[in-house]
Chain A
């Protein structure tokens, strides 16, 4: 019963985060955990033969349509410190694949964590520390690359949502009108702008 409630909360968190990201107007998030079409793209093959999955796959609007993966932890009374370490290690492994080579990695949580280390959570050292404790995830006969750690660190996001986050976004009725207009030629230009 408790586990099911946790699963339900997790699903709600994933769909909430998906919508929150889409309502920023800067990204599209076509794939979420449980998607039978593109759910496989969320998975990363690990060196031990297993797979681990992110919760969301999206793309920044822009010329290169840069992808991003997101891990969503809808915890309200538990700091996801251990989950963040796993996320870092998974991001490192994912970055070794063609899809993850230039992808950003977002950790979305409702509960701040590791406050004393907050300023270093997105450092190359944190990435290295996370993958060092999970060396079995690495591809066979491969060593941890400092360059890869730094590359992943430069593409990390930590997003802390709250129950009030929705109040700081466009009302849904207005958002729909704005984004519908974005289908016009102006949007096509917008989608090709910028460094992304």
Chain B
């Protein structure tokens, strides 16, 4: 009915857990290499619907990393929507070859705190930028949001390297800069092709990153609360399983 299976060759249960551990180690190593000021740790979970695969901890903030390996933009869009309130990192093991459709890009844009990165993009960015600019790469991982693919690395780096004027960290982050309310304390960077790295404590954001709870995944028929008897009481926050953190 279909062609042969793709992906890793899993014959026995032990094969799966060995491969899983190898993949988790690779992700941890990639994150640790681009974020030397952070503590990167693997969790006990893998591709869990609402629990992270990896945690990255800076002083005063923790960012969760969720691994997904779907090569279907429709599935990935659903994952972006489910994680849109987490302010975490959606780590995509491999993106489909074609350009992301507008529905996917729109979903990423609506997930204002979520950083969606393709495997290897941060490493490629670190290698493309001068070594003294590595702090910018860590800043992207620390507070950045939006979609960063490997294909986006070259224009991002070009914009940064080509700057001839001192630029702030927010300007350096460009489209990946967080919301203004969560902007890290800004320090002007030196001009020219080399950007002076900031001391690591300058990366502490004005307030800790929110570690929200992923939105409950709902089927279309469920996207309205069940009928409940009305109760007369003072207005309060809507509670219930449909409420994201």
Contacts and interface: CB of A to CB of B under 8 A. Distances in A.
A34 B5 contact: no
Contact of B50 (A35, A98, A163, A175): A175
Interface residues of B, number: 51
B221 A12 contact: no
A30 B20 contact: yes
A40 B219 contact: no
A166 B218 contact: yes
Contacts of B69: 35-39
Contact of B11 (A32, A36, A98): A98
Interface string B114-151: 00000000000000000000000000000000000000
Contact of B70 (A35, A53, A163): A35
A189 to B, nearest CB: 13
Contact of A172 (B20, B216, B219): B216
A38 B75 contact: no
Contacts of B1: 46, 50-52
Interface string A1-44: 00000011101110110110011000011111011111111110
Interface of B: 1-13, 16-17, 19-20, 23, 43-51, 69-72, 74-75, 78-79, 82, 93-94, 213-222, 226, 241, 245
Interface of A: 7-9, 11-13, 15-16, 18-19, 22-23, 28-32, 34-43, 45-46, 50-53, 59, 65, 67, 74, 76, 97-99, 163-164, 166-167, 169, 171-173, 175-176, 179-180, 182-183, 187
